[in-house]
């Protein structure tokens, strides 16, 4: 498991290409642009929201542990127009900061960022935590291989997360 | 002798529950009135058996988990004598919360306020600067152990507790729901289940009864879960068919179930309840089950599958998941969901965890929408007209079976009527004291 405490690349030297990619990903998620968001994923993509910072998804339950197929199902359900928990969809804006490159080898980069997310649906809910991304360099640019969401309140009861976190 | 000033006289004691809960309808205020909620916590959660934990969560001496009953914080711990105790999480000195971790292992609980220590069986061990008391340490120890639930019992590994001691025998309380626990446990070739994969915790802005009602509701799936069935995969049975052999049953005592047995038997297919996986995916499980039961009985068990049974007032055996609720206020309920690992069937475990995440919890393809309905329900119930919530479906389809009042119309509201009739009994008994 990635050591999330590691001191890595100083923010100023994180390649702009990586920051631009995850800022774009955040914007697509914020604006519920589901199909465009899905297109960022690699075929072996994993979207993971654990129920604690140090969980093993093979033996412990997560809030979300989607392989690429299930990411597709999640998006198909949102696009059906009958996903009640996102009808109407959340209005969202999220901020990404404190970028760090945790590793860079074999054409894949692990990037970390802190985030805060303001989500409005009936009332405004604040979500916060750390994103860990695994990004792959391909002939067509970057693709998203893994996105891990470490919510600060992941060991507590959380509100519905039917939107893209 | 307990002095409970504010709770001894509740405004809700004066309410006529026989008027508010009728045969085919209940009054909307039962979901929104804060005084009634207080009475429910006193007369249902604190005075009756409730589920608190599963033995697999605290397998070793010293293991503990924190839980709540009716807003009261608890430590459910296995002492060094291996006995399970349900203790109130409150230092007997000045009332500080004693244990802060959700789960762990401890021989002693030390109060962070003044350093008093309690052993994991609740006895007072040490008092800092003990010379300051008139009594001897021995006297203090005998008087100031942690408060405990008056009754603790287990069935099939499920731990139930009752705070006051007035709840009678555990097996009498479980009644016809006992068979549902047996039905779950028999899915394991080693005769047991394990909840060590942990809980998803979901914060619902809905009354606890709203959350319970939908768990055994055969009327809602086509509407609430339409997006799943249309965009991802069809339901495991055809809820739109009037030929569907799914029973809705009031088991008595507030327990109820949606029983798929007859439909599964008619189809005679294994694992309908588990995405229809072929036997070849779980060869060791099949082998262990056949070694124990023989081929015919194994086939029957794999066809009939696990229970879909609600155990009053807070536990739900949701096929391959265990769910329970903690009511926090009249409008807020925490729903917990754990995947079930079947002992002796390890190759099923990862699959069950993935199934749980797909369907259940705050991001689940099913439960996120059930939670949304619950929250909309809670908002709607604040409208004062019409006063009544209807549970009138399917009276004329009901018949008395040995397991309880049963309707083979899956859309009947038999299960909710069962919950409400039991609720009426509990709320009326104490009002008339």
Residues B220-276 have pLDDT tens digits of 999 999 999 999 988 888 888 888 899 999 999 999 999 999 999 999 999 999 999
Q: Cis check for the bond before B240: say yes or no (omega within 30 of 0).
A: no
Which positions in chain B touch A161 (Cβ < 8 Å)?
A: 362-363, 368
Task: Write the burial class of residue B137 (CB in 10 Å: 0-12 exposed, 13-18 middle, 19+ buried).
Answer: middle
Q: Among candidates A37, A100, A61, which has minimal Cα distance to B199?
A: A61
From first CA to last CA, the distance across chain A in angstroms is 21
How close B22 gets to chain A, by Cα (Å)? 31
Which positions in chain B touch A157 (Cβ < 8 Å)?
A: 201-203, 334-335
Residue B60 pLDDT class (50, 70, 90 cuts): very high
What pLDDT is attached to residue B216?
Answer: 96
Q: Is the pLDDT of residue B29 over 80?
A: yes
Q: Among candidates B239, B226, B221, B273, which has minimal Cα distance to B409?
A: B239
Residues of chain A with a CB closer than 8 angstroms to some CB in chain B: 49, 51-52, 55, 57-65, 70, 73-74, 76-77, 79-85, 122, 155-162, 165
Q: Is the pLDDT of residue B7 over 60?
A: no
Work out the mean pLDDT of chain B and round it to a whole number.
95
What pLDDT is attached to residue B431?
Answer: 53
Q: Give percent above pLDDT 70 in chain B.
A: 97
Q: Among candidates B411, B27, B365, B15, which has minimal Cα distance to A83?
A: B365
Residue B137 pLDDT class (50, 70, 90 cuts): confident
A·B CB contacts under 8 A:
105
Residue in A78, A84, A156 to test binding to B, most B beta-carbons within 10 Å: A84
CATH 3.90.380.10 domain extents, chain B: 196-431
B 74-133 → A contacts, CB under 8 A = 102
> What is the arithmetic mean of pLDDT over B42-52?
96
Give counts: helices (H), strands (E), chain A. Answer: 3, 6
Q: Is the pLDDT of residue B384 over 80?
A: yes
B230 has a chain A CB within 8 A of its CB: yes
Q: Among candidates B55, B48, B45, which has minimal Cα distance to B78?
A: B55
What pLDDT is attached to residue B131?
Answer: 86
Q: Among candidates B257, B230, B204, B242, which has minimal Cα distance to B369?
A: B204
CATH architecture, domain defined by A11-151:
Roll (3.10)
In the block, tokens 């350093």 appear at: B115
What pLDDT is attached to residue A63?
Answer: 98
Q: State which CATH number among 3.90.380.10, 1.25.40.10, 3.20.20.210, 3.30.70.260 fits the domain covering B196-431.
A: 3.90.380.10
The helix-helix angle for B367-380 and B208-215 (nearest 10°) equals 130
> What is the arithmetic mean of pLDDT over B118-139?
92
Residue in A157, A159, A162 to test binding to B, most B beta-carbons within 10 Å: A157
What pLDDT is attached to residue B155?
Answer: 98
Question: What would the 3-class secondary structure string for chain B be?
Answer: CCCCHHHHCCHHHHCCHHHHECCCEEEHHHHCCHHHHHHHHHHHHCCCCEEEEEHHHCCCCCEEEEEEECCEEEEEEECCCCCEEEEECCCCCCCCCCCCCCEEECCEEECCCCCCEEECCCCEEECCCHHHCCCCHHHHHHHCCCCECCEEEEECCEEEEECCCCCCCHHHHHHHHHHHHHHHHCCCCCCCEECCCCCEEEEECCCHHHHHHHHCCCCCHHHHCHHHHHHCCCCCCCCCCCCCCCEEEEEECCEEEEECHHHHHHHCCCCHHHCCCCHHHCHHHHHHHHHHHCHHHHHHHHHHCCCEEEECCCEEEECCEEEEEEEEECCEEEEEEEECEECCCHHHHHHHHHHHHHHCCCCCCCHHHHHHHHHHHHHHCCCCCCCEEECCCCHHHEEEECCEEEECCCCCCHHHHHHHHHHHHHHHHHHCC
What pLDDT is attached to residue B426?
Answer: 96
B224 has a chain A CB within 8 A of its CB: yes
What pLDDT is attached to residue B432?
Answer: 44
Q: Is the pLDDT of residue B63 over 80?
A: yes
Q: Do B102 and A82 touch (CB under 8 A)?
A: no
Cα gap B348→B35, rounded to integer Å? 46
Residue in B66, B67, B223, B363 to test binding to A, most A beta-carbons within 10 Å: B363
3-state secondary structure of A64: strand
Q: Is the pLDDT of residue A10 over 80?
A: no
What pLDDT is attached to residue B239?
Answer: 84
**B305-332 pLDDT tens trace:** 999 999 999 999 999 999 999 999 999 9
ipTM: 0.95
Work out the mean pLDDT of chain A and round it to a whole number.
94
Q: Is the pLDDT of residue A11 over 80?
A: no
Q: Is the pLDDT of residue B395 over 90?
A: yes
B 14-33 → A contacts, CB under 8 A = none
Q: Do A157 and B202 touch (CB under 8 A)?
A: yes
Residue in A52, A82, A160 to test binding to B, most B beta-carbons within 10 Å: A160
Lowest pLDDT segment from A44-48, A157-161, B4-8 = B4-8
B235 has a chain A CB within 8 A of its CB: no
Residue B337 pLDDT class (50, 70, 90 cuts): very high
CATH 2.102.10.10 domain extents, chain B: 51-154
Q: Do B369 and A83 touch (CB under 8 A)?
A: yes
What pLDDT is attached to residue B6?
Answer: 52
> What is the arithmetic mean of pLDDT over B336-343?
97
Q: Do B232 and A155 touch (CB under 8 A)?
A: no
Cα gap B400→B408, rounded to integer Å? 11
Cα gap B392→B407, rounded to integer Å? 13
Q: Give percent above pLDDT 90 in chain B.
A: 89
B222 has a chain A CB within 8 A of its CB: no
Confidence (pTM): 0.95
**B148-160 pLDDT tens trace:** 999 999 999 999 9
What pLDDT is attached to residue B430?
Answer: 66
Neighbours of B235 (CB within 10 A): 13
Residue B130 pLDDT class (50, 70, 90 cuts): confident
Q: Do A160 and B202 touch (CB under 8 A)?
A: yes
What pLDDT is attached to residue B433?
Answer: 45
B371 has a chain A CB within 8 A of its CB: yes
Cα gap B413→A109, rounded to integer Å? 55
CA distances from B416 to B160, B184, B262, B382 (A): 22, 22, 21, 20
What pLDDT is attached to residue B410?
Answer: 92
As beta bridge partners, residue B254 has: none
Task: Answer for the pair B153, B309: CB distance below 8 angstroms, yes or no.
Answer: no
How close A80 gets to chain B, by Cα (Å)? 6
Q: Which residue of A has its CA nearest to B337?
A: A61
Q: Do B369 and A58 touch (CB under 8 A)?
A: no
Which positions in chain A touch B353 (Cβ < 8 Å)?
A: 57-62, 65
Cα gap A64→B367, rounded to integer Å? 13
Q: State which CATH number among 1.10.3720.10, 2.102.10.10, 3.40.640.10, 3.40.50.620 fits the domain covering B51-154.
A: 2.102.10.10
């Amino acid at each position: 498991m990635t050591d999330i405490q590691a001191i890595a690349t100083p923010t100023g030297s994180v390649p702009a290409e990586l920051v631009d990619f995850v800022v774009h990903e955040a914007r697509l998620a914020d604006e519920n642009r589901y199909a465009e968001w899905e297109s960022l994923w690699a075929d072996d993509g994993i979207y993971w929201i654990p129920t604690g910072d140090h969980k093993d998804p093979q033996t412990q339950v997560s809030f979300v542990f989607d392989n690429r197929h299930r990411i597709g199902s999640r998006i198909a359900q949102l696009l059906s127009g009958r996903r009640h928990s996102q009808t109407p969809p959340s209005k969202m804006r999220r901020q990404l900061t404190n970028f760090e490159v945790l590793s860079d080898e074999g054409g894949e980069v692990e990037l970390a960022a802190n985030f805060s997310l303001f989500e409005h649906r009936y009332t405004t809910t604040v979500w916060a935590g750390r994103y860990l991304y695994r990004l792959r360099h391909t002939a067509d640019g970057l693709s998203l291989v893994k996105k891990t969401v470490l919510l600060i309140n992941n060991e507590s009861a959380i509100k519905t997360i039917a939107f893209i976190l | 002798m307990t002095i409970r000033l504010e709770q001894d006289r509740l405004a809700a004691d004066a309410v006529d529950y026989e008027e508010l809960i009728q045969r085919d309808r209940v009054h909307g205020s039962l979901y929104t009135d804060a005084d009634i909620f207080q009475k429910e916590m006193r007369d249902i959660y604190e005075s009756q058996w409730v589920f608190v934990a599963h033995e697999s969560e605290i397998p070793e001496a010293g293991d503990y988990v924190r839980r709540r009953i009716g807003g009261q914080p608890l430590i459910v711990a296995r002492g060094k004598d291996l006995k399970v105790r349900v203790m109130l999480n409150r230092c007997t000195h000045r009332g500080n919360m004693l244990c802060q971790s959700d789960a762990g292992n401890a021989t002693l609980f030390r109060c962070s306020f003044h350093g008093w220590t309690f052993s994991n069986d609740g006895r007072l061990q040490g008092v800092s600067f003990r010379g300051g008391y008139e009594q001897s340490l021995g006297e203090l120890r005998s008087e100031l152990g942690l408060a405990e639930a008056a009754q603790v019992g287990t069935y099939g590994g499920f731990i139930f507790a009752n705070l006051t001691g007035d709840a009678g025998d555990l097996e009498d309380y479980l009644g016809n729901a006992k068979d549902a626990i047996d039905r779950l446990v028999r899915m394991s070739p080693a005769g047991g289940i394990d909840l060590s994969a942990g809980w998803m915790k979901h914060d619902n802005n809905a009354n606890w009864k709203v959350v319970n009602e939908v768990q055994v509701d055969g009327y809602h799936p086509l509407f609430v879960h339409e997006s799943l069935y249309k965009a991802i995969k069809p339901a495991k049975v055809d809820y739109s068919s009037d030929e569907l052999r799914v029973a809705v049953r009031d088991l008595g005592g507030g327990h109820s179930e949606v029983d798929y047995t007859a439909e599964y038997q008619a189809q005679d297919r294994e694992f309908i309840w588990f995405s229809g996986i072929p036997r070849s995916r779980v060869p060791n499980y099949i082998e262990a089950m056949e070694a124990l039961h023989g081929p015919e009985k194994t086939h029957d068990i794999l066809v009939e599958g696990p229970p879909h049974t609600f155990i009053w007032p807070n536990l739900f055996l949701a096929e391959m998941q265990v769910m329970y609720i903690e009511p926090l206020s009249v409008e807020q309920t925490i729903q917990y969901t754990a995947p079930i690992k079947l002992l002796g069937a390890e190759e099923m475990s990862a699959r069950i965890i993935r199934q749980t995440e797909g369907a259940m919890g705050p991001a689940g393809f099913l439960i996120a929408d059930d939670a949304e309905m619950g929250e909309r329900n809670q908002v709607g119930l604040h409208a004062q007209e019409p006063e009544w919530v209807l549970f009138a479906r399917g009276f004329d389809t009901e018949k008395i079976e040995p397991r309880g009042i049963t309707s083979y119309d899956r859309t009947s509201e038999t299960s909710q009527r069962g919950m409400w009739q039991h609720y009426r009994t509990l709320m009326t008994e104490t009002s008339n004291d």
